[in-house]
């Protein structure tokens, strides 16, 4: 896997974790939302922390789409689970959340599972003589 592809997967991890943490920070500052007051949700979107979280999550989505263009879903999705470790560290130090030893153990078990998945190829080999072109299968 070349550097561009690794950077794209790294973007998925970093933008996803940072986006979730920043969005959480923004919503904690904004306060509780209610389905009966939908205007508050629209107002929340335009607060600085929430807007920054949304922007980071949009960058996550672009990176995720790009990753899916060169690797299988069964490779990309588990590879993004490394973001759970990064997100937990950000939540601990940036949001001052208390993370129990059981939760840390669960996060590291997920990361261990990711190691098994990423040991294989990123892309399933296509049938001999067949290639994909913009979502459709054509003869090579």
**What torsion, rounded to 10 degrees, do the Cα atoms 5, 7, 12, 15 define?**
-160
Low pLDDT (below 70) residues in the chain: 120, 126-140
* Residue 132 phi, psi dihedral angles, 5° rounding: -100, 145
Alpha-carbon dihedral sign for residues 43, 45, 50, 51: negative
Distance of CA 54 to the CA centre of its chain: 13
Q: What is the pLDDT of residue 11?
A: 95
Q: Which two tokens stand for residue 95?
A: 């949001």
pLDDT at residue 94 in the model: 94
pLDDT in tens, 50-85: 999 999 999 999 999 999 998 888 888 887 888 888
pLDDT for position 98: 94
pLDDT attached to residue 135: 56
Single out the residue of 66, 42, 65 nearest to residue 54, CA to CA: 42
User: What's the pLDDT score for residue 97?
Assistant: 94
Instruction: Compute the distance between CA of residue 37 and CA of residue 94 in angstroms, rounded to an integer.
Output: 29
């Amino acid at each position: 896997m070349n550097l561009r592809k690794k950077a794209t997967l790294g973007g998925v991890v970093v933008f996803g974790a940072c986006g979730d943490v920043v969005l959480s920070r923004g919503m904690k500052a904004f306060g509780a939302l209610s389905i009966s007051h939908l205007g508050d949700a629209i107002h929340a979107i335009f607060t600085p922390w929430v807007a920054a979280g949304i922007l980071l999550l949009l960058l996550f989505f672009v990176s995720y789409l790009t990753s899916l263009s060169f690797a299988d879903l069964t490779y990309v999705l588990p590879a993004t689970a490394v973001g759970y470790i990064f997100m937990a560290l950000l939540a601990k130090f940036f949001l001052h959340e208390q993370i129990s030893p059981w939760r840390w153990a669960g996060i590291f078990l997920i990361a261990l599972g990711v190691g098994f998945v990423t040991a294989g190829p990123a892309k399933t080999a296509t049938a001999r003589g067949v290639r994909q072109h913009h979502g459709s299968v054509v003869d090579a």
